[in-house]
Amino acid sequence: MSDPLHLNLCGRVLLVTSRYGITELPRARVFVRAIADVVDHVYPKGRPSLLALEPLVSEQLTMLEAALRAVQNGSGPAKDAVLPVPEEQCIQEEPVPEPEEKSVARRKRKPLQQGESAVVVKSLEEKLRDEREPVQKLLKQDCVHAGLLDKKKAEAMVRSMLGKTPQEAEQNIVEQLRQILQDQVKAAIRRKSGPWCTPLAQEEMRKDIHGARSVKSILMLARQIRKEQLEWKKQNGKGGLRGLFG
């Protein structure tokens, strides 16, 4: 991270996040990247000096602290943490001579109404929420349908993602799903309702479960286990028994 802006942001973001118990560098980097994205959006043609960037950076750090405070207090995203980027902060490009036809067409475009802004920048909380959404959908729909979770447990896992980076939150959930899937396989082995009767097969299954690194990979493995069990029951005349995830 040799970029002067990123170096400046990293130290200042860590000062803010450490006040709310967040000291991990990977989590801080998520916020650093989000603020840098805002700066690049406001200054698309190149960043000015750090001194000129200070008002915008200070504003974003204030928004970050407000969002972290709201999460810590359990009140959700603070309203003050979602602030529009002032339109006057956007760098105006130098006018470029253009053909008369294009100039006339440009004048016919609908002007912005009062209160509208040409710049739409997502807040840090909105960025993190959008990144968490795919995993939350898998938990509430696919994992419930596959029998890994019930609706109450899925909702609890979704809530546990708040206040964490999407990567950290998913890793914690994957560890829980691994244990759930492992327990379901063990239960099937005890009932002798699956094709994993040998110690070697059971060890291979354990390795497969432990090797899953995402919610999606856990789901794929759970479906494959379900398929293997149904095929085994069909071959052994045990189709009347309840399935592994029944």
Residue 86 clears pLDDT 60, i.e. is over it: no
Give pLDDT, residue 80: 37
Separation in Å, CA 192 to CA 29, 162, 232, 243: 48, 40, 11, 12
Specify the higher pLDDT residue, 180 or 240.
180
- Cβ contact 216:225 at 8 Å: no
Residue 174 clears pLDDT 90, i.e. is over it: yes
Residue 78 clears pLDDT 60, i.e. is over it: no
Number of helices (H) and strands (E), helices first, in the chain? 10, 0
Which residues, at least 6 apart from 44, have a Cβ–Cβ distance to it below 8 Å?
91
Choice among 9-18, 27-36, 45-54, 118-127 with the minimum mean pLDDT: 118-127
What mean pLDDT comes out for the span 60-65? 88
Choice among 34-48, 114-128, 143-157, 215-229 with the minimum mean pLDDT: 114-128
Residue 83 clears pLDDT 50, i.e. is over it: no
What mean pLDDT comes out for the span 4-32? 85
Residue 177 clears pLDDT 90, i.e. is over it: yes
Q: Would the pTM of this model clear 0.75, i.e. be above it?
A: no
End-to-end CA distance of the chain: give it in Å, rounded.
50
Which residue, among 67, 69, 87, has the nearest Cα to 77 in the 3D structure? 67
Sign of CA dihedral 147, 148, 151, 152: positive
Percentage of the chain lying above the pLDDT 90 cut: 12
CA–CA gap between residue 50 and residue 91 (Å, rounded): 15
Mean pLDDT of the chain: 76
Q: Which residue has the tokens 């603070």?
A: 78
Query: Confidence band (pLDDT; 50, 70, 90) for 4?
Result: confident
Q: Which residue has the tokens 């327990």?
A: 183
Q: Which residue has the tokens 């899937």?
A: 181
